[in-house]
Amino acid sequence: MSSSDTSHSPPNPPWRELGGNADEAGGYALVYYSDNVSRLPVRFVTKPGDNKADPNLETLTFGLFSTCNRSLRSSAVARRYPYLFFITRWGGNRVLSGYYHVRWYTEGVFHGMKDVALAADEGRFLDPPIDVTEVDRQCGTKLRKWFRSYRILSPEECSRIVKLIRRKPDAMEAYLSEIDRLEHLNRRYGGFRYVSWKVSDKFSWQVAGEYLRNISTSPSKDRVLNASPTNSWKCGKCGSTIRNKALLKRCPDCGELGSLRAVKG
């Protein structure tokens, strides 16, 4: 895991071991948005009005900084399933770009709303990625069959996919370099690495500490929606109205965590 400050990284609190039985180590094939101005299928860093933070290769986390796939994250903890396989549309087809082996989890910003963050002890990403048709052929999976968000995979399927990925060279450093390049494009033309978040710093364990220190100890009292019909969000602390397609965990104006709620019209 990358960062000069690792005091907030696992196994330090509040992170907890995922646990589970190695013989029953299932997982998930999950779909993410990749960047259409990148030569690699990294997350959609430059997506207008909806910059993406996951999969967060800088910290090998998922769901710490964003609200993506909340139900998947809570399911992974409930089932003790450690594998996340990342699927995206690339070159006109769906491809497998890499995977995480999740070892730790913690409550997220929206405590009590099935909001947990996952952290991996291993991640591996591929250049080039593998077409899902080839994954199905070699691993006996059915990833060609369309699914919107994620699909649960058996332990046997996970084992075969991991072996396939590990036979390929690891391109993690190339992915990290490409993410950094795209963030510089954002900063050049929008003033921030993540324009819709108003974030100037790279993701790191130092930045993660701001999210982990401020996790609420009491459950959320209201239902927090991940989507807004108006693409607008109201901050309960500073009163700002924020424009973004997805719910942000942090108010871009005042920095308060967990304070945004959908503006319904």
CB-based burial label for 183 (10 Å; 0-12, 13-18, 19+): buried
Whether pLDDT at 206 is above 70: yes
Q: Which two tokens stand for residue 165?
A: 């990925």
Q: Which two tokens stand for residue 217?
A: 């100890």
The secondary element (H helix, E strand) that includes residue 31 is strand 27-31
Domain assignment of residue 40, yes or no: yes
Question: Where is average pLDDT lowest: 4-8, 15-19, 147-151, 215-219?
Answer: 215-219
Please report which confidence band the pLDDT of residue 77 belongs to, taking 50, 70 and 90 as the band edges.
very high
Question: Of 160, 187, 214, which one is at a domain's C-terminal end?
Answer: 187
pLDDT at 23: 87
Contacting residues for 75 by C-beta, under 8 A, at least 6 apart = 28, 81, 152
Number of folded domains in the chain?
Answer: 2
d(CA 65, CA 258) in angstroms, rounded, equals 11
Instruction: Say yes or no: 172 and 237 in one domain.
Output: no
Whether pLDDT at 84 is above 60: yes
Residue-wise pLDDT for 96-142, tens only, equals: 999 999 999 999 888 767 899 999 999 999 999 999 999 999 999 99
The CATH number of whichever domain residue 145 belongs to comes to 3.10.590
Instruction: Say yes or no: 125 and 231 in one domain.
Output: no
pLDDT at 1: 41
Return the C-alpha torsion angle 101, 177, 171, 196, nearest 10.
Answer: 40
pLDDT at 202: 95
pLDDT at 36: 94
pLDDT at 2: 43
The CATH number of whichever domain residue 249 belongs to comes to 2.20.28
Q: Which residue has the tokens 């046997």?
A: 156
Share of the chain above pLDDT 90, in %: 85
pLDDT at 80: 97
In which domain, by residue range, is 110 found?
16-187
Residue-wise pLDDT for 147-202, tens only, equals: 989 999 999 999 999 999 999 999 999 999 999 999 999 999 999 999 999 999 99
d(CA 127, CA 177) in angstroms, rounded, equals 13
Q: Which two tokens stand for residue 76?
A: 């992974």
33 C-beta neighbours (distance < 10 Å), count: 16
Q: Are 124 and 130 in contact (CB under 8 A)?
A: no
Please write down the long-range contacts of 44-48, taking CB distance under 8 Å and 24 or more positions apart.
45/179, 45/182, 45/183, 45/186, 45/194, 46/182, 46/185, 46/186
Beta pairing, strands 27-31 & 83-90: parallel
Q: Are 205 and 7 in contact (CB under 8 A)?
A: yes
Domain assignment of residue 208, yes or no: no
Q: Where are the alpha helices (DSSP H) in 40-131?
A: 70-79
Please report which confidence band the pLDDT of residue 225 belongs to, taking 50, 70 and 90 as the band edges.
confident
Domain assignment of residue 244, yes or no: yes
Instruction: Tell me the CB-side half-sphere exposure of residue 26, using CA atoms within 13 A.
Output: 13
pLDDT at 4: 54
Please report which confidence band the pLDDT of residue 251 belongs to, taking 50, 70 and 90 as the band edges.
very high
